[in-house]
């Protein structure tokens, strides 16, 4: 077996690959086989395996792998010793190598064939300020939040991650007093505390088999994570966050989860906290960076962590993304387009229609020149309005599947892949849609674009229901991927509607075809963060609601008596979900004058506090 030949092999950098094993026998064969099948030249990979005193056949299996694959790698080292933990094992391997890039990986995973090449390519495009690039995990994607535009993140999982060696050595590697779990968060925070940035690389995929079942809680993970959370609070948290950590820990004594050896583990953790607290307090953060801490977690987690990602079909369907924009929106358009360029789906056609100007023409020519997308189409129109511009965009598409993206909304990197894979697997469906974050956004300036995201809420979680859709729209426009056949059969937007045009469209498209909800948050849409602008938006929506209802009266659908009874029952079961949840509280605020005043006062107080904090930094 030999490594593939590349014309540009001399241009690719050496890298050190570090793996730490402990009773990992069942994973060894698949792990090394996936490494051997990489399209990266393995002759430029030094492989370092550190075994932490396994009691099964892990070490023997590693030696067998070296006999089989050793000649492919530049070097293949196996060392054994006492159990020094996950971070300690990788620190040991870090000292043995010297390559500019250091790839840390678990062995309970398998690489896709282009994983290493993808992540190295991203790393080489970035500046020295970027310290790490985290690979995407399948089938269960890591739920950590990241920026859909820059792909920056506050912290990275070390299940599979590429580091810049100089950055890792500058901060001293993994924390030596953290044995297992949470050491990757602490290292991420320490890198950021030293001025580095962290990035997510969604196009580099590894199949991580850590969980045998969705939502599984492992005792070692539970105790390791709770202990790490306390240490991280001591080093990076405020005084109140440290006190909250103490409170959270003692609350476990009252309502403990069903974890084996719970009391013994809790006592052991308590003693470790007392012993190590002075050390973490002495080595507190140096910068004023934001280090999120949220109860036992570290930041908001994206919904849908245990949605099992499917493998993409061999022949990926062409997906057309239709975007509408207009004069003065170029800063927003750049962000929206960046989220499309970051998509993991391999065949995307981007259609941008600019309503009333051609300000975006030069930028779109630049996007087309990157060659990242299968096709880029730009069309400037005289001022025609939202619906006519949307229809002009639909007419330009060639994709089998279509999706909209307003110029101030964003896709997470797997949005198109997730929806397209599910739709392609279900020929009888008309569309798929996913959960989406409603993001309240306060804009501070447009040039340069600066804004603050104040809230992130998932407003709609409604599984597909025709009668509920007839009552109100529960699908945000960018969250729906639909078949081209629906557009060809039913046409595009109703051009008499400049608002709620998407609700009318989904109602028409779903009269005969079912849609499917994917319970994973894969996109976000923005709403005004200020009370005044939010109220103006709501008034406009309310004004078009009556028109949208009148349009629905023109639609005809054949129903049997049994259908009527079923739909009536379905509507009565679901309609209360529209009125009661907290997602509707803000609408109630908008319609009550007294509550409007209280809401306005509260938002002003919060804004002043935030401004004061920003000014003190």
Domain-embedded: residue 501: yes
Domain-embedded: residue 502: yes
Q: What is the pLDDT of residue 539?
A: 77
546: pLDDT strictly greater than 90: no
Please answer whether residues 35 and 111 qualify as being in contact, where contact means their C-beta atoms are separated by less than 8 angstroms: yes
What is the rounded distance in angstroms from the CA atom of residue 437 to the CA atom of residue 521?
Answer: 7
163-216 pLDDT, tens digit each: 999 999 999 999 999 988 899 999 999 999 999 999 999 999 999 987 555 555
Asked if residue 201 and residue 344 are part of one domain, the reply reads no
Q: What is the pLDDT of residue 613?
A: 56
- If you average pLDDT over residues 55-74, what whole number do you get? 97
State which of 165, 191, 208 marks the end of a domain: 208
13-59 pLDDT, tens digit each: 999 999 999 999 999 999 999 999 999 999 999 999 999 999 999 99
Please answer whether residues 188 and 198 qualify as being in contact, where contact means their C-beta atoms are separated by less than 8 angstroms: yes
Domain-embedded: residue 241: no
What's this model's pTM, rounded to 2 decimal places? 0.87
Q: Which domain holds residue 61?
A: 9-208
What is the rounded distance in angstroms from the CA atom of residue 501 to the CA atom of residue 477?
Answer: 9
Please answer whether residues 195 and 129 qualify as being in contact, where contact means their C-beta atoms are separated by less than 8 angstroms: yes
Look up residue 295 and give its DSSP letter.
T
Of the listed ranges 218-222, 344-348, 360-364, the least confidently predicted one is: 218-222
Q: What is the pLDDT of residue 600?
A: 47
Find the DSSP H helices in 9-57. Answer: 25-36
Q: How far is CA 143 from CA 34, 210, 233, 435, 475, in A?
A: 24, 14, 21, 14, 22
- If you average pLDDT over residues 371-376, what whole number do you get? 96
Q: What is the pLDDT of residue 299?
A: 83
Domain-embedded: residue 1: no
Of the listed ranges 117-126, 395-404, 573-582, the least confidently predicted one is: 573-582
Taking the CB of residue 366, how many other CB atoms lie within 10 A of it?
11
Domain-embedded: residue 450: yes
State which of 504, 534, 555 marks the end of a domain: 555
* Confidence bin at 577 (pLDDT 50/70/90): very low
Of the listed ranges 21-25, 302-306, 455-459, 518-522, the least confidently predicted one is: 302-306
For 138, residues 6+ apart whose C-beta sits below 8 A from its C-beta are 205, 206, 207, 208, 309, 311
- If you average pLDDT over residues 479-497, what whole number do you get? 96
Closest CA to 351 of 327, 323, 389, 332: 323
Q: Tell me which long-range contacts 172-175 makes (C-beta under 8 A, separation of at least 24).
A: 173/87, 173/90, 173/91, 173/94, 174/86, 174/87, 174/88, 174/90, 174/91, 175/87, 175/231
What is the rounded distance in angstroms from the CA atom of residue 287 to the CA atom of residue 119?
Answer: 29
Domain-embedded: residue 303: no
Asked if residue 323 and residue 202 are part of one domain, the reply reads no
Asked if residue 466 and residue 335 are part of one domain, the reply reads yes
531: pLDDT strictly greater than 90: no
Closest CA to 224 of 266, 275, 279, 174: 266
Q: What is the pLDDT of residue 585?
A: 47
Asked if residue 323 and residue 192 are part of one domain, the reply reads no
Asked if residue 204 and residue 323 are part of one domain, the reply reads no
Asked if residue 523 and residue 402 are part of one domain, the reply reads yes
Q: How far is CA 380 from CA 325, 340, 374, 413, in A?
A: 10, 20, 21, 27
Q: How far is CA 202 from CA 137, 276, 576, in A?
A: 8, 36, 38
Look up residue 175 and give its DSSP letter.
-
300: pLDDT strictly greater than 70: yes
Domain-embedded: residue 568: no
Structural domains counted in the chain:
2
Of the listed ranges 205-209, 262-266, 430-434, the least confidently predicted one is: 262-266
Look up residue 70 and give its DSSP letter.
G
Domain-embedded: residue 14: yes
- If you average pLDDT over residues 385-412, what whole number do you get? 97
Closest CA to 357 of 387, 389, 382: 382
587: pLDDT strictly greater than 50: no
State which of 208, 226, 248 marks the end of a domain: 208
Q: What is the CATH number of the domain that holds 106?
A: 3.90.550.60
- If you average pLDDT over residues 455-460, what whole number do you get? 91
Q: Rank 238-247, 262-271, 362-371 by mean pLDDT and report only the highest.
A: 362-371
What is the rounded distance in angstroms from the CA atom of residue 563 to the CA atom of residue 408?
Answer: 40
Mean pLDDT of the chain: 89
Tokens of 208: 């991580």
Q: How far is CA 344 from CA 136, 273, 340, 397, 547, in A?
A: 10, 42, 9, 20, 38
Q: What is the CATH number of the domain that holds 448?
A: 3.90.550.10
What is the rounded distance in angstroms from the CA atom of residue 52 to the CA atom of residue 46?
Answer: 20
Of the listed ranges 256-260, 361-365, 472-476, the least confidently predicted one is: 256-260
* Confidence bin at 609 (pLDDT 50/70/90): low
Q: What is the pLDDT of residue 593?
A: 45
Query: What count of residues does the chain have?
Result: 617
589-605 pLDDT, tens digit each: 444 444 544 554 555 56
Q: What is the pLDDT of residue 269?
A: 87
104: pLDDT strictly greater than 90: yes
- If you average pLDDT over residues 150-174, what whole number do you get? 97
Of the listed ranges 26-30, 248-252, 486-490, the least confidently predicted one is: 248-252
Of the listed ranges 291-305, 434-448, 562-576, the least confidently predicted one is: 562-576
């Amino acid at each position: 077996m030999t490594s593939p030949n590349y014309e540009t092999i001399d241009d690719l950098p050496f890298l050190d690959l570090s793996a730490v094993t402990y009773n990992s026998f069942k994973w060894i064969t698949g792990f090394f086989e996936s490494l051997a099948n990489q399209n990266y030249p393995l002759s430029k990979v030094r492989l370092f395996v550190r075994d932490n005193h396994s009691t099964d056949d892990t070490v023997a299996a590693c030696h067998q792998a070296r006999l089989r694959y050793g000649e492919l790698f530049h070097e293949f080292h196996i060392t054994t010793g006492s159990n020094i933990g996950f971070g300690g094992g990788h620190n040991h391997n870090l000292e043995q190598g010297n390559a500019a890039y250091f790839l840390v990986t678990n062995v309970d995973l398998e690489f896709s064939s282009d994983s290493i090449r993808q992540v190295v390519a991203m790393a080489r495009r970035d500046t020295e300020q970027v310290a790490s690039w985290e690979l995407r995990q399948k089938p269960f994607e890591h739920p950590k939040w990241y920026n859909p535009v820059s792909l920056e993140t506050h912290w990275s999982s070390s299940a599979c991650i590429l580091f810049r060696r100089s950055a890792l050595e500058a901060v001293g590697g993994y924390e030596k007093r953290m044995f297992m779990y949470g050491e990757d968060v602490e290292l991420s925070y320490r890198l950021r505390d030293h001025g580095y940035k962290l990035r997510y690389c969604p196009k580099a995929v590894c199949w991580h088999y850590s969980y045998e079942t969705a939502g599984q809680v492992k005792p070692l993970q539970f105790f390791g994570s709770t202990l790490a959370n306390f240490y991280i609070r001591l080093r990076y948290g405020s005084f109140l966050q440290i006190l909250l950590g103490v409170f959270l820990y003692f609350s476990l004594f009252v309502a403990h989860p069903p974890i084996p050896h719970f009391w013994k583990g809790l006592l052991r953790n308590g003693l470790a906290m007392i012993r190590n607290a002075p050390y973490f307090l002495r080595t507190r953060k140096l910068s004023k960076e934001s280090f999120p801490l949220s109860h036992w977690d570290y930041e908001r987690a994206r919904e849908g962590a245990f949605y099992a990602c499917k493998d993409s079909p061999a022949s990926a369907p062409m997906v057309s993304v239709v975007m509408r924009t207009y004069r003065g929106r170029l800063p927003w358009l750049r962000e929206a387009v960046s989220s499309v360029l970051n998509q993991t789906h391999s065949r995307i056609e981007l259609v941008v229609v600019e309503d009333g100007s051609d300000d975006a023409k030069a930028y779109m020519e630049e996007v087309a020149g990157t060659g990242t997308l299968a096709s880029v189409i730009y069309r400037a129109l005289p001022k025609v309005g939202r619906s006519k511009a949307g229809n002009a965009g639909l007419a330009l598409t060639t994709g089998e599947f279509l999706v909209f993206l307003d110029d101030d909304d964003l896709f997470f990197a797997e949005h198109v892949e997730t929806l397209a894979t599910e739709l392609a697997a279900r020929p009888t469906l008309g569309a798929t849609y996913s959960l989406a974050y409603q993001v309240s956004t306060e804009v501070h300036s447009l040039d340069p674009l600066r804004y603050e995201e104040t809230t992130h809420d998932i407003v709609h979680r409604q599984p597909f229901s025709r009668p509920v859709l007839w009552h109100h729209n529960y699908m945000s426009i960018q969250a729906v991927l639909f078949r081209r056949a629906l557009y060809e059969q039913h046409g595009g937007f109703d051009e008499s509607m400049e608002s709620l045009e998407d609700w009318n469209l989904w109602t028409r498209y779903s009269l005969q075809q079912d849609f499917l909800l994917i319970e994973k948050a894969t996109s976000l849409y923005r709403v005004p963060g200020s009370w005044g602008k939010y109220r103006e938006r709501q008034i406009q929506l309310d004004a078009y609601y009556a028109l949208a209802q009148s349009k629905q009266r023109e639609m005809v659908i054949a129903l049997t008596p049994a259908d009527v009874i079923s739909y009536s029952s379905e509507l009565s079961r679901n309609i209360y979900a529209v009125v009661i949840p907290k997602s509707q509280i803000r609408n109630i605020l908008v319609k009550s004058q007294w509550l409007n005043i209280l809401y306005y006062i509260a938002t002003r107080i919060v804004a002043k506090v935030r401004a004061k904090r920003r000014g003190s930094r």
